[in-house]
A and B are shown apart, each in its own frame.
Chain A
Amino acid sequence: MAHKLLGKDFLPHDVVAKVTGEAKYAEDFRAEGMVFARLLSSPYPHARVKSIDVSEALKIPGVVGVLLPEDVKNPDAPDIPLLTMEPGYVGAPIMLVAAEDETTAQDAIEKVRIEFEPLPFHVDPLASLHPDAHDARTDGNVGAAGVKFQTLKWTKEDFDNAGSRMPAGKAAQEWEYGDLDATFARCKLVLDETFVHASNSHHSMEPRTAMAYWQNGKCILHVSSQSQSFIAPALAGMIGIPPSDLVLVAEYCGGGFGSKGGAYPLQALPALLSRKINRPVMMRISRAEEYYNGSARLGFQGQVKLGFAEDGKLLAADLYVIQENGACQSFFDFRNAADGLSILYQPEAMRWRGMPVYANSIIRSAQRGPGYNQIAHIMEPLLDKAARELKVDRLAIRLKNAGGHQAAFGAKRATVSSCYIKEALEKGAAKFGWQERLARHGRKNGSKVTAVAICQAFHPAGFSGFDGLMRILPTGKVHIHTGVGNLGTFSHSSTSRIAAEVLKLNWDDVIIERGDSRRHLPWNIGQFGSNTNFTMARTNYVAAMDALAKLKEIAARRFGGSPEQYDIDGRRVFRKGSPGTGMTYGEAAQRAIQMGGKYDGHELPKDINPMTQTSATAIAGTGLVGVAKDNLPLTGAPAAFAAAFVEIELDLETGKHVILDYMGVADCGTVIHPAGLETQIKSGAVQGFGVAALERIVYDPQNGLPASVGFYQAKPPTYGDVALRFRTDAVDLPDPSSPLGTKGIGEPLLGCATAAVLCALSEAIGGHVFNRTPVVPDMILNQLAGRPHPHGPLQVNCQ
């Protein structure tokens, strides 16, 4: 079907403000009488605060007040506390001081007398499971969403009997399908390997600064958030107010990558302090504080046993993942990893075991492709290893294992709504010239060797059940209200084009309402990467379909006949076969206001969320209101896939590599915004290059002190690390569960790129698989020289 807007480039409305400096982020706002707050953070990896004496601090001229742990209501453990008396990591917020200026606030922090009782700590989840080892928390050592918070240690025998495998005791969670032993028994090749996936920071360029003040009982809060509507209930809960009393401004967000997807305590603290001292409060967060509290991808230690048939088909998989939670509740990457393995390679039999373990290290949260990407980074090099040993082509082994639309995954053997990974691999291989490139694979030029690789990744691509809201004004302008947030992917606009497409609108007639809860926003999903497009396409579709039905009903009332006898052209609703009989959208909106009831938002669907009810009520009477909950059917779990092709040159004398050429191919359903997609394919790959070879979290195991608290230490990629040539493409085939065929793609674009670089590095040194991220030049040089690596095979937070 030819679309008017879909598949066409457009200029998202927030781009110009970003190149002129007019885009306002949280730290760019000011309020009359604003004071500055500074954090007092834990210098210990684990300690009990015995006492806090702020008397000297309060004597400093200019100090306005303090916020102490006793002033806040913390969530139940192990959720992240707002302020804590038992800090579990260096940098954990304990209290705040507010002063007329930031220097005075910091001077006052220095005057706070605080007595700590240091407690035992660890920064190695696996080692901490030994019965003699310390735990990170005093109230439990294992837990995650879906896993009970508990104390669960392994036995001494579990460790003593491990040999070269990872020690493996009782799992906190596990599932299995098929006959694992029997399936392994008929495999031609079995690989059994330990692995480590490093944790890496989100490195958002905008630190999570926030500014808050109170007006007429409402809290006005400027935050750095990927999400808009989705975080309001939880954030209001932290502040202790109903969501309706929270005015949330998050029009721009300087990078989140998962770390600013949900509500987080540093958003709430200035609001609480502001209420206490009755002054607007700006709390700036430094880069180091961002590294302590800005969260990071969850690291893995694990063991994976893989059984292959002679033709390269993966028959059996046995995966055990220990996940580093950090000190507080984080995410469930360890569980996602299992689904990721099963969906990408479709083993006949599989077991998964998982242990989410707390450690005295920084806050963790979902990062672009949580779990699904880590497992692609581990599995793809092992797939190459199997291909090498079985003498199967690397493209062929992936095509052999790839699932189609009936791809089943996980313990429940659920199926996907669509899967075009085979098409992505084949399209990419043709355009990249896979066979021709293989001819120069392994070619040496002095100390440099050329290597090529092909890889893939997966991520779920959406949810359902959120609301859509829009209105047509008597002026003919159409306002699409979106509560999704602004992560920088332009999806607030690209998904709004679904609604515009349904109504055949000219894009110039559309105004997008977003970024500030006072703009009356519906209940929407957070800006959760690949999940956004599909989910928001559905909400915008149902709202537009509601508006379309109302346009036709209004016309039928005015001109007679039934609504089915009417059609639209983007500007007018008219009788089919009699284009002169009809009215403009603006005239219909005027009539909607006169008719009232459901037409102008005075009567609303019963099943929409209270937030949408409030917003729709606020705009009722201003035009023709389209509002609905997404009750559309689902034919399977929405799924996004991506394939990557890379050519690198590795210098065997320095261990450094250059990415000569990179090609990414997306399975994102029908392409909604080609330029935006190209941007995501390239930039997701850049982040992937960082995960593969640069980014790390380093802890001093003796003292529990972090050593990666600046960009130069934690190493996000720079201009110097990008591919010299990027190529992008998409399968561009529709997903049947998405009204216009679109689905998200953000996350696997990182995973396939990381895997591709890791595979290429392995290929360049003759096939050795490190089973570890990042692969840094030292590791390559040690491997080539036959020297032992300085880190143990399952050691973490160490390079």
Chain B
Amino acid sequence: MSDTSINAEMEARRVSRREFIKRVIASGAVASSASFVMGGLAGCSPRPGTVAGSVERLISLNVNGQLRRVDVLPQETLAMTLRYKLGLTGTKLSCDRAECGACTVMIEGTTYYSCSTLTHSVRNRKVTTIEGLRGPNGELHPVQQAFVDELGPQCGFCTPGQVVAAVALLQKNPRPTREEARHAMSGNLCRCGAYDNYLNAIMRAAGNTAEIHHGA
């Protein structure tokens, strides 16, 4: 990925973050004084009237190629909808603040932090989660297979987000250099520190065997 496109990508994310906050404010959800409360609304669906403006609306989502009908609050994040209403728990929540990438999904082929994306904003757009990557017969996506072959995951908690980010990268840039991959993946944290394994996996999936690093 060139520097220009990285900048464009980052700018797009910035805008979406700003947009996110604007929409939350507009929705009437009041930021709690206890600032560390998740934005997320677990077990979503507070009782009617308990949160200002918290009226659910039935909407249609396109998730992993399926049409899913779901009741969604104005301030509900995509991560919460996926995890608590659609049963797609492969998308993880770690920071809930657009810092770590554990909740990464693809929307129309571009990576988004689903913890910081309002569900209402993705109506009529194609959402792909980690559960949507396997082939029709259950076979692993080539990127998933490469992550297995390179012993990518350690604790595994960041792995779904890493895999989705890697798939999105290779869709845009099928033959990235290791350095390009390092830049492209930098929105996904891994506390175990398995970055080198993940980069090896991406190089393997891209067929760039010259840049797979092993041994002494």
B160 within 8 A of A: yes
Does the CB pair A20–B192 fall under 8 Å? Answer: no
Q: Are A24 and B89 in contact (CB under 8 A)?
A: yes
Complex: A11 Cα to B140 Cα, angstroms = 15
- Indicate if the CB atoms of B155 and A20 lie closer than 8 Å: no
Q: Is the CB of A21 within 8 A of B50?
A: no
Q: Which residue of B lies closest to A749 (CB)?
A: B193
Whole-angstrom CA separation of A372 from B164 in the bound complex: 38
Which residue of A is nearest B49, CB measured?
A61
Bound-complex Cα distance A102 to B33 (A): 15
> By the criterion CB–CB under 8 Å, are A106 and B34 in contact?
yes
Task: Please determine whether B90 and A22 come into contact, CB atoms closer than 8 angstroms.
Answer: yes
| Distance, CA A344 to CA B163, complexed state (A) | 41
User: Smallest distance from the beta carbon of B94 to chain A beta carbons, Å?
Assistant: 5
Known A-B contacts A284-B42, A286-B38; the reply to A729 vs B216 at CB < 8 A is: yes
Q: Considering only CB atoms and an 8 Å cut-off, how many residues of chain B contact the other chain?
A: 71
**Contact mask for chain B residues 85-123; partner A; CB cutoff 8 A; 1 contact, 0 none:** 000111111111101101000000000000000000000
Question: Is A109 a contact partner of B34 (Cβ separation < 8 A)?
Answer: yes
A711 touches B99 (CB 8 A): yes
A725 proximal to B (CB < 8 A): yes
Least distance between A238 CB and chain B CB atoms (Å): 24
Inside 8 A of A253's CB, which chain B residues have their CB?
155
A728 to B141, CA, bound (A): 29
Per-position binary interface string of chain A over residues 682-701, scored 1 when its CB falls under 8 Å from any chain B CB and 0 otherwise:
11111100000000000000
How far apart are the CA atoms of A722 and B178 in the complex, in Å?
Answer: 12
B210 to chain A: closest CB distance in Å?
13
The CA-CA distance from A679 to B199 in the complex, in Å, is 12
Give 1 or 0 for each of A668-683: 1 = CB within 8 Å of chain B CB. 0000000110110011
**Residues of A contacting B196 in the complex (Cβ-Cβ under 8 angstroms):** 682-683, 686, 722-723, 726
Q: Which of A199-207, A316-324, A559-567, A761-769 contacts B (4 or more CB under 8 A)?
A: A199-207
User: In the complex, A487 Cα to B47 Cα: how many Å?
Assistant: 39
Whether A205 and B191, one on each chain, are in contact in the complex, defined by CB atoms closer than 8 angstroms, is: yes
B94 interface neighbour in A36, A287, A726, A728, Cβ under 8 Å: A287
B44, B183, B191: the one contacting A203 at CB < 8 Å is B191
The answer, yes or no, to whether B215 is at the interface (CB within 8 Å) is yes
- In the docked arrangement, what's the CA distance between A444 and B127, Å? 50
Complex: A19 Cα to B100 Cα, angstroms: 17
Q: Is A170 an interface residue (CB 8 A)?
A: no
Q: Which residues of B have CB within 8 Å of A287?
A: 36, 94-97, 99
Q: Is B77's beta carbon under 8 Å from chain A?
A: no
Q: How far is the CA of A205 from the CA of B44 in the complex (A)?
A: 23
Within 8 A of A (CB), among B1-60: 32-38, 40-47, 50-51, 54
Interfacial residues of chain A within 256-300, with CB under 8 A of chain B in the complex: 256-257, 282, 284, 286-289
**Bound complex: CA A569 to CA B183 (Å):** 51
A-B residue pair count with CB separations less than 8 angstroms? 224
Q: Given A20, A254, A723, A727, which contacts B140 in the complex, CB threshold below 8 Å?
A: A20
Establish whether residues A679 and B194, one from each chain, have CB atoms under 8 Å apart when the complex forms: yes
Question: Is A711's CB under 8 angstroms from B96's CB?
Answer: no
Complex contact B155–A254 (CB within 8 A)? yes
Q: Is the CB of B131 within 8 A of A28?
A: no
Residue of B44, B148, B193 touching A16 (CB-CB under 8 A): B148
Chain A residues with Cβ under 8 A from B34's Cβ? 106, 109-110
Judged by a CB distance under 8 angstroms, whether B213 is at the interface is yes
User: Which residues of chain A from 193 to 219 have any CB-CB distance to chain B below 8 Å in the complex?
Assistant: 202-207
B residues less than 8 Å from A512 (CB atoms): none
CA distance A769 to B111 in the complex (A): 43
Residue of A nearest to B186 (CB): A719
Contact-size category for A: 35 or more
Shortest C-beta distance, A795 to chain B (Å), equals 27
Q: 1/0 per residue A484-499: CB within 8 Å of B?
A: 0011111000000000
* Contact status of A679 and B43, CB under 8 A, knowing A284-B38, A287-B36, A719-B188: no
- B154, chain A: closest CB distance, angstroms: 4
Residues of B within 8 A of A289 (CB): 36
Q: Is the CB of A687 within 8 A of B97?
A: no
Which among B41, B94, B191 has the highest number of chain A CB atoms within 10 Å? B191
**In contact, A288 and B148 (Cβ under 8 angstroms):** no
Residues of B within 8 A of A489 (CB): 154
Residues of B within 8 A of A593 (CB): none
- If A104-B47, A205-B190, A718-B186 touch, whether A21 touches B151 (CB-CB below 8 Å) is no
Which residues of A have CB within 8 Å of B94? 205-207, 254, 287
Residue B81 is within 8 A (CB to CB) of chain A in the complex: no
A552 and B136 alpha carbons, distance in the complex (Å):
49
Partner of A101, one of B46, B155, B197: B46
For residue A18, CB closer than 8 A to chain B, the reply is yes
Q: Which residue of B lies closest to A289 (CB)?
A: B36
Residues of B within 8 A of A722 (CB): 182, 193, 195-196
Separation in Å of the B78 CB from the closest CB of chain A?
15
Which of A110, A676, A686 has a CB less than 8 Å from the CB of B151? A676
B80 → chain A closest CB, angstroms: 9
Closest to A61 in B: B47
A719 to B188, CA, bound (A): 8
Chain B residues closer than 8 Å to A710, beta-carbon distance:
95, 97, 99
A395 interface hit (Cβ, 8 Å)? no
A488 engages B99 (CB within 8 Å): no
In the assembled complex, how far is the CB of residue A660 from the closest CB belonging to chain B, in whole angstroms? 13
In whole angstroms, how far apart are the Cα atoms of A686 and B199 in the complex?
A: 14
Residues of chain B in range 145-181 having any CB-CB distance to chain A below 8 Å = 147-148, 151-160, 163
Q: Is the CB of A728 within 8 A of B36?
A: no
| Contact of A110 with B96 at beta-carbon distance under 8 Å, contacts A19-B144, A21-B131 already known | no
Give residues of chain B (186-216) contacting chain A, Cβ–Cβ below 8 Å.
Answer: 186, 188-197, 199, 213-216
A102:B38 contact, CB within 8 angstroms: yes
The list of the 7 closest CB pairs from A to B, nearest first, reads: A21-B90, A254-B157, A686-B193, A18-B156, A288-B36, A683-B193, A488-B155
Interfacial residues, chain B to chain A (CB-CB below 8 A): 32-38, 40-47, 50-51, 54, 83, 88-97, 99-100, 102, 129-131, 133-134, 140, 144, 147-148, 151-160, 163, 182-183, 185-186, 188-197, 199, 213-216
A residues sitting closer than 8 Å to B (CB atoms) are 11-12, 14-25, 27-28, 34-36, 38, 60-62, 100-104, 106-107, 109-110, 202-207, 252-257, 282, 284, 286-289, 431, 486-490, 663, 675-676, 678-679, 682-687, 709-712, 716-720, 722-723, 725-729
- Other A-B contacts than A35-B43, A663-B216, A679-B194, 11 sampled, CB-CB below 8 A, are A28-B83, A103-B46, A205-B102, A205-B157, A206-B155, A486-B155, A682-B197, A710-B95, A716-B191, A719-B186, A726-B213
6 A-B contacts (beta carbon < 8 Å): A27-B93, A102-B43, A205-B102, A287-B99, A488-B153, A683-B192
